[in-house]
Amino acid sequence: MGALPEKEEVTAAPKARALAKKLGIDLAKVSGTGPGAMVTEADVKAASEGKAAVPAPPIPVEAPRPEARPEEKAEARPAGQDKYGEIERIPIRGVRKAIAKNLIASQKTAAFVTGMDDADVTELWALRKREAKVAKEKGVHLTFLPFFMKAAQHALAAYPSVNASVDEKAEEIVVKKYYNIGVAVDTPEGLMVSVVKNVEKKTILDLAMELQELSIKARDRKITLEELKGSTFTISNYGTFGGTYATPIINYPNIAILGTGKISERPWVVDGSIAVRKILPISFTFDHRIIDGADAARFVNRVISYLEDPGRIFIESA
């Protein structure tokens, strides 16, 4: 004789089971209207009254809408607007695209470190003021930048490892024996780095004249590609726009950049006494893969020494 088939287990809510037991209802004979045909308390009550419970209506499910085509999405709101208000879209191309590409390459390659310091340029301030009259007679507007360039060039000569680039493929440091200093120039297209070649062979006035010419060319969009190439070191003189300290990005493939801020009057200790002096904020970003922190500090101190004692920088001799 075969074994009797097992009685199929009925799915029922706990309250439904309790009520069925109380009323003597066989759950196996009750049609469930709950999820997955589960017997509910209402089903048991209906069975005791000889009625069939009415199943709850299914929850309506909204049919998925077809994905809008790209052109339909673009037409969802007027051009020049997002959901918050009016916008303007400016294509990244031309000079701006080239600038972005170079800055990204620099940040992806170099190990950036920035140090900040100050220089007492009170004497330099007075010197430039005097020599500006001489320059004006020659049709030249003499700013502080030629002095910064000459100070940097002398410091680079003392610390040649800063005047270098990296040959990534050959894994070599390429030390340059010439001094081509790039200078960031503000133009309608963005910052351009104009390059003054062979700074070591030029006087302060030579540099001032060349900077003046390059600046005009850059702003008039007449500068040549050759005048934007070949830098061995860069100076960003953001003090012209009121900035103080910054973390300037290295102009790849250079391995360092000097940032000069706005000169302002500050209290300063001179020979044990407080005096009001002209102070220049300095920021120096370098590639720590190539330049050690100690050498970076020595280089900046050398630059400061020239700026604080400008008599060491000759006005009309290279």
Whether 141 is catalytic is: no
Task: Concatenate the DSSP letters of all residues of the chain into one string.
Answer: -PPPPPPPPPPB-HHHHHHHHHHT--GGGSPP-SGGGPBPHHHHHHHHTT-PPPPPPPPP-PPPPPPPPHHHHHTTS-TTEETTEE-------HHHHHHHHHHHHHHHHS-EEEEEEEEE-HHHHHHHHHHHHHHHHTT----SHHHHHHHHHHHHHHSGGGSEEEETTTTEEEE-SS--EEEEEEETTEEEEEEE--GGG--HHHHHHHHHHHHHHHHTT---GGGGS--SEEEE-GGGGT-----PPP-TTBSEEEEE---EEEEEEETTEEEEEEEEEEEEEEETTTS-HHHHHHHHHHHHHHHHSGGGS-SS--
Integer Rg of the chain from CA:
39
Task: Choose among 234, 265, 268: nearest CA to 248.
Answer: 234
Judge whether 196 and 211 are in contact, CB under 8 Å: yes
- Burial of residue 220 (CB within 10 Å: 0-12, 13-18, 19+) is exposed
The residue type found at 67 is E
Identify any residues that bridge with 173 across adjacent strands, giving them in sequence order: 166
User: Residue 274 in contact with residue 268, Cβ under 8 Å?
Assistant: yes
Q: Which residue in the list 288, 295, 308, 318 is annotated as catalytic?
A: 288
User: Which residues carry out catalysis?
Assistant: 288
